[in-house]
Amino acid sequence: MATSTPNALQEADRHAVTMGQRLSEFWYYFSENRGAVIGLWVFVFLVVVAILAPLLAPHMPQQQYRDAILVPPYWQEGGRAAYLLGTDAVGRDLLSRLLYGARFSLFIGVIVTTLSLTVGIFFGVIAGYVGGKTDTFIMRIMDVILAFPSLLLALVLVAVLGPGLINAMIAIALVLQPHFVRLTRAAVMSEKTRDYVVAAKVAGAKPLRLMFKTILPNCMAPLIVQATLSFSTAILDAAALGFLGMGAQPPTPEWGTMLAEAREFILRAWWVVTLPGLAILVTVLAINLMGDGLRDALDPKLKRS
Amino acid sequence: MLRFFFGRLAVLIPTFIGVSIVAFAFIRLLPGDPVQLMSGERVMSPERYEKISHELGYDRPIVIQYLDYLGNVLTGDFGRSLTTKEPVLTIFAKLFPATLELSLCAIIFAVVLGIPAGIIAAVRRGTVIDQTVMGTALIGYSMPIFWWGLLLIILFSGVLQWTPVSGRISFSYFFQPVTGFMLIDSLISGQKGAFKSAVSHLILPTIVLGTIPLAVIARQTRSAMLEVLGEDYVRTARAKGLPPLRVIGVHALRNAMIPVVTTIGLQVGVMLAGAILTESIFSWPGIGKWMVDSVFKRDYPVIQGGLLIIASIIMVVNLIVDLLYGLINPRIRH
Amino acid sequence: MKKLSFAAALLAATVLSGAASAKTLVYCSEGSPEGFDPALYTAGTTFDASSRPVYNRLVEFKPGTTEIEPGLAESYEISDDGLQYTFKLRPGVKFQTTDFFTPTRTMNADDVIFSFERQLKADNPYNQYVTGGAWEYFAGMGMPDLIASIDKVDDMTVRFVLKQKEAPFLTNLGMDFGSIVSKEYADKLAEANTKEQLNQKPVGTGPFQFVDYQLDARIQYKANPDYWKGKEKIDDLVFAITKEASVRYQKLQAGECHVMPYPASADVAAMKADPNLQVMEEAGLNVAYLAFNTLQPPFDKTEVRKAIAGAINKQAIVDAVFQGAAQVAKNPMPPTMWGYNDAIEDDKYDPAAAKAALEAAGVKDLKMKVWAMPVARPYMLDARRAAEVIQADLAAIGVTAEVVTYEWAEYLERSKAKDRDGAVILGWTGDNGDPDNFLHTLLGCAAVGGNNRAQWCNEEFDKLVNAAKLSTDQAERTKLYEEAQVVFKREAPWVTLDHSVVVMPMSKKVSGYVMSPLGHHAFSGVDIAE
């Protein structure tokens, strides 16, 4: 950047100021929503747990202790200090598995959201900007995907691709991306005729630049809100697939898969059933709380009401 | 209105063709040769293999297979299950009432609780009541329902022993299905306690399946009400000194219900997805469980036909919702 | 059917509710039957719901054994050349009277001939009566190539003429596809153009008659009042279809059902401790094995195979995979079957000796593949875990094993290849309780490139099992099979791994239940205390 002209620097500076202003304005509205802030803190906590799982976990998540099968949590009769939240049917420490499970859930959320967001934006921008037959074609395909119940479609897709975490993520991303396509398309279509776009067009901007550099950044607000929604949906759906035996495969400590393995013990060992589900709920709830806050902060129409 | 209707229908046809291609393609892509799987460890002679492949039509060009399939589907022939050899449509017809009964109960549950909750939250905006309702709704909305079902089973079936673990009715009652709806059939049967048994089997699945729609409806009702309550005519009505209940009940509610009705219509897809999990948890003999079982059994024609039938139902329901919406709200038509 | 008028349904319901004091046995079955014509299917779940309660066969398995006894045939004669089987039918056997069919005559030769000819002859009107249906077991047991003709000698005598000698033929007729259906009923259905009903509403001669099936939920039977062995002690039999093992257990505990199959192995200990339950156990009619490719060096050498057999700790596999709910296998056929040679001594688990034997055979730095199936089967719940145990055991004697797996259909296909690289884990569940079904089917020369996954063709062994196939003298056959097992053990084309143990938990109120070594679940002779 050493060769930047003063002019360009000024430009960057101005940009930074507006970004800073926007951010502080955003934070003002976001922090007004108490739930959203709590959600954010919980989410940050989960991220930390996921990153530090190897340090925090007292045991390896797949280590089986043959002398400690279905040991109840520490505070219950028969519980042991070595296994704070008890053990599962093959003697694995539940706490360690839950901690490692946070990694999988967040990983699923990040990958699925990124994947569906990128693909969705790409097709959405094209459909919205190009219009005509291309638009019709893309939107009909999206209609087809949306015609199936998402979980059923994902289930069959995973059956096609073969059960496993990666395939489950691909399937979920595929069923989630039409929402992004629709949103992007609608936003692009409404922005397309705005003055600044027309001006850029007259100034000779190439279509690709117009689509992705000029128009897209101005359509981000609804996409961000949708992305948080997708994040939580991805975690829920991946867990559901795991629960049905089509997601992550044992012995992966994915929460949904853990629930599926625990189902047998539903009336005998409440902890193996209750805790993984609670972990899913807390994670999804935190993200949805954040999503609500984001929507309030980003959507000017709702802001007023 | 007619133009609007045909416009929607014109969109539906390519979508249906697309759906049929997807359903067909999936099955062709599924790993594992279905003919080979039929024989398991037992080695099948090449002649027999050929014969079965031929009977099932797997040896013909894929485009021909698809066109054949589409032709059959249009005449109502969705193929036959590989395991039971029964027509897919027949099995669907046998199982669908169970899913429909559960879904209807769940939607009633969601509407009956969700709309009043949303109204109260909107009217008492910002109060503890509002926060409690909306907090609960968000928890419901975030709920992994398969876990929710297990929790309810632990509590109500395990600890309290109030409700049965699974199924539609206790096995001590036996009668021929007349309508396919257990609640109605058990009444018709006249057997003592049968209706009660059917109800007790329905409670937990209804709650589980209704949870997410309940949360969505409550949230939607609240925001629709808030919007309407801010409108001029409501303020005018209030200013005129009309009793608040009348303002809310007659003026605001009627207008707020338009988006809510749409939301309810859109819950059909959610319901069918939810049925997959709910029916699996409660061994509910409906189409959700049927689909899951068929995926595991690789019953190709069932997966294919099931996907197509379910998608068609959702498309038709969405069309109806669209039309209703157009009817209520003429602005949309243009 | 749905329109079967309101009034009729009401009436039926009131009649049923009137008989409240009837003895009802509820069986929590593990899945839905595929249909009710047993000859069309191969799944035990289907047989439990069709052939066993509703039908009888010419000859039947004695409860609790794999031996046969007369059923609908009062007696039978085998010609000296072993090619003609003449069955004298039991007189006065009534088909069930149900609300959808009333028989006008008793069972006779026409019924028997119809039952088999619909499977044998392409021009039989019932040969293709279910679209896409095939006579799986009939074909699988080689019947179309074996039977020359089925003749009616007189009204109560039927003769089967075979193309070649086949000792297991009689046992095969005791299998489910040999169920005798009513020709009168079939004709009536054909006339009404509702042939498929034969597969939906069965009519047989068996202990229980079909009342109703609610898809994926319940099957209702009642005791056949005209049963030729006398009416059953229970009045109603209900199959409560419950796919989850844990849910079956919950229902058993709650008294919602009285008998359940296939408990989760983790639950068995708790079941045994429950004062309200009794738990029956028996070895399953199956075997899991690790088959070498005996055509591929160095596994073409007996010493190498023997050395590896001695290096594998089978008990560890049983513990790891079954939590003890299986027994170590020493022979290629299960111990509940006649002809099992109990005198054989298993290879001793001795890594040091195995290592020395391998060195003596001149094999160093051996690398091999171990194939693990991707699915759980009754004889092997988790092949991957078993393969990992084997991998560790082999590492201890300096053999590097790589575990490979394929999608199930592909696994079955690829493992048949004669040039297959590596040893494959697989197994077999017996069909008819005849040793031929294990020894000849899985290890005979004719099965190389097919069911014989070891690609093992041993002249001595093959001679023995072929001789046994042709003889109709049970004592002689027993001797031949026992000898064949000695050859097998000496040559070790497989490492035999385990036979699963079948566990049947049931309420203490239930009495008279007999476990079948063939894995049948049948309720004839069962009683329940009020």
What are the tens digits of pLDDT across the range A56-101?
Answer: 999 988 777 767 778 899 998 888 888 999 988 778 899 999 999 9
C201-235 confidence digits (pLDDT tens)? 999 999 999 999 988 889 999 999 999 999 999 99
Look at B138-142, B161-165, C147-151 and tell me which has the smallest mean pLDDT.
B161-165
Q: Which has the closest alpha carbon to B120: B219, B254, B208, B26?
A: B219
* B242: pLDDT strictly greater than 80: no
C331 vs B254 pLDDT, higher one: C331
Contact C253, C21 (CB under 8 A): no
Say how many CB pairs under 8 Å bridge A and B. Answer: 131
Mean pLDDT of chain B, nearest integer:
85
Which carries the bigger pLDDT value, residue A46 or residue B188?
A46
Q: What is the pLDDT along chain A (305 residues), one digit of tens a residue?
A: 444 444 544 554 555 556 677 788 788 888 888 889 999 999 999 999 999 999 999 998 877 776 777 889 999 888 888 899 998 877 889 999 999 999 999 999 999 999 999 999 999 999 988 888 999 999 999 989 988 988 999 999 888 887 789 999 999 999 999 999 999 998 888 888 888 888 888 888 888 887 788 788 877 888 888 899 999 999 999 999 999 988 887 778 999 999 988 887 777 788 999 999 999 999 999 999 999 888 888 765 444 43
**Residue among A148, A162, A277 whose CB faces B147 most closely:** A277
According to the model, what pLDDT value does residue C316 have?
Answer: 87
- Residues of B with CB below 8 A from A267's CB? 154, 158
For residue B231, pLDDT over 70 is answered with yes
Q: Which residue of B has its CA nearest to A229?
A: B142
Phi, psi of C401 (to 5 degrees): -110, 135
**Cα gap C484→C69, rounded to integer Å:** 26
Taking the C-alpha atoms of residue B71 and residue C47, their distance in angstroms, rounded to an integer, is: 36
Mean pLDDT, rounded, for C392-415: 85
CA distance B297 to C243: 13
**Interchain pair A264, C266: CB under 8 A:** yes
Do C283 and C502 form a contact (C-beta atoms < 8 A)?
yes
Does position C1 have pLDDT exceeding 50, yes or no? no
pLDDT, residue C49, reads 95
CB-nearest partner of A89 from C250, C266, C270: C266
Q: Taking CB atoms and an 8 Å limit, are C270 and A268 in contact across chains?
A: yes
Higher pLDDT, B33 or C46: C46
Q: What is the pTM of this model?
A: 0.80
**B231 has a chain A CB within 8 A of its CB:** no
Instruction: Report the DSSP beta bridge partners of residue B281.
Output: none
CB contact under 8 A, C247 and B165: yes
Where residue C19 falls among pLDDT bands split at 50, 70, 90?
very low
Which residue carries 């009729």 as its tokens? C8
Contact A240 B307 (CB under 8 A): no
What does the pLDDT average to over B278-289? 91
CA contacts within 13 A on the Cβ side of B148: 23
Q: What is the sign of the dihedral through the CA atoms of B174, B175, B180 and B185?
A: negative
Inter-chain CB proximity C267 and A264 less than 8 Å = yes
- Tell me the per-residue pLDDT of C31-43, one tens digit each, with 9 for 90 and over: 889 899 999 988 8
Domains along chain A with CATH numbers: 27-302 (1.10.3720.10)
A121-135 burial string, b = 16+ CB within 10 Å, else e?
A: bbbbbbbbbeeeeeb
Confidence of residue B37 (pLDDT cuts 50, 70, 90): low
Smallest Cα distance from A28 to chain C, Å: 52
- DSSP reduced 3-state for B80: strand
Residue type, C126: Y
**What's the pLDDT at C54?**
97
Of residues B47 and C166, more confidence is placed in: C166
pLDDT at C189: 95
Among A10-14, A169-173, C277-281, C430-434, the range scoring the smallest mean pLDDT is: A10-14
CB contact under 8 A, A266 and C246: yes
Q: A252-261, B283-292, B324-333: which range is least confident on average?
A: B324-333
Residues of C in contact with B83 (CB under 8 A): 34
Quote the pLDDT of residue B32: 65
Which residues in chain C touch residue B175, judged by CB atoms under 8 angstroms apart? 9, 12-13, 16
Predicted confidence band of residue C8 (pLDDT cuts 50, 70, 90): very low
| Residue-level pLDDT at B97 | 93
Q: Look-up: residue for tokens 């199930």?
A: C408
Tell me: pLDDT of C13 over 70: no
| Between C312 and B330, residue with greater pLDDT | C312
Residue of C nearest to B167 (CA): C217
What local confidence, expressed as pLDDT, does residue B58 receive?
Answer: 75
> Which of the residue ranges A208-217, C340-349, C397-406 has the most confident prediction, judged by mean pLDDT?
C340-349
Among candidates C32, C35, C241 on the partner chain, residue whose Cβ is nearest the Cβ of B85: C35
Across A212-221, B219-228, C306-315, least confident range: A212-221
Which of 281-320 (B) contact A at CB < 8 A?
291-292, 295-296, 298, 303, 307, 310-311, 314-315
| C305/chain A closest Cα distance in angstroms | 32
Q: What is the ipTM of this complex?
A: 0.86
The verdict on a CB contact (< 8 Å) between B154 and A140 is no
Please give the Cα distance from B155 to C404 (Å, whole number): 44
The answer to whether the beta carbons of residues B301 and B78 sit under 8 Å apart is yes
Q: For chain B, give the percent of residues with pLDDT over 70.
A: 93
Residues in contact with C492: Cβ distance below 8 Å, sequence separation at least 6, in sequence order: C292, C302, C305, C306, C309, C347
Closest CA to C500 of C382, C387, C379: C379
Residue of chain C nearest B91, judged by CA positions: C215
Is the pLDDT at C523 greater than 70? The verdict is: yes
pLDDT for C289 equals 96
Average pLDDT for residues B70-98, to the nearest whole number?
89
pLDDT at B42: 65
Q: How far apart are the C-alpha atoms of C429 and C285, rounded to whole Å? A: 6
Q: What share of chain A in percent tops pLDDT 90?
A: 46
> What distance in Å separates residue A176's CA from the closest CA in chain C?
28
Q: Is B144 on the interface with A (CB under 8 A)?
A: yes
B168 vs C291, residue with greater confidence:
C291
Higher pLDDT, C323 or B275: B275
pLDDT of residue B38: 65
Q: Residue B213: which H helix or E strand, with range?
A: helix B194-229
Q: Which residue of C has its CA nearest to B53?
A: C132
Among chain A, residues having any CB pair with chain C shorter than 8 Å are 89, 162, 263-268
Q: Are strands C59-61 and C68-70 parallel, antiparallel or unpaired?
A: antiparallel
Q: What is the predicted pLDDT for the residue at A299?
A: 67
Give the range with max mean pLDDT: A149-153, B125-129, B290-294, C155-159. Answer: C155-159
Q: Which tokens go with B29? A: 């892509």
Most C CBs within 10 Å: which of A264, A265, A270, as the mutation test of the C interface? A264
Rounded Cα distance between C458 and C348, Å, is 24
Whether C246 sits inside 8 A of A89 (CB atoms) is: no
Give the closest of B80, B171, B178 to C26, CB-based: B171
**B176 closest CB neighbour out of C12, C14, C243:** C12
| Chain B positions in Cβ-Cβ contact with residue C131 (cut-off 8 Å) | 80, 85
Q: What mean pLDDT do residues B30-38 have?
A: 68
Residue A16 confidence (pLDDT): 53
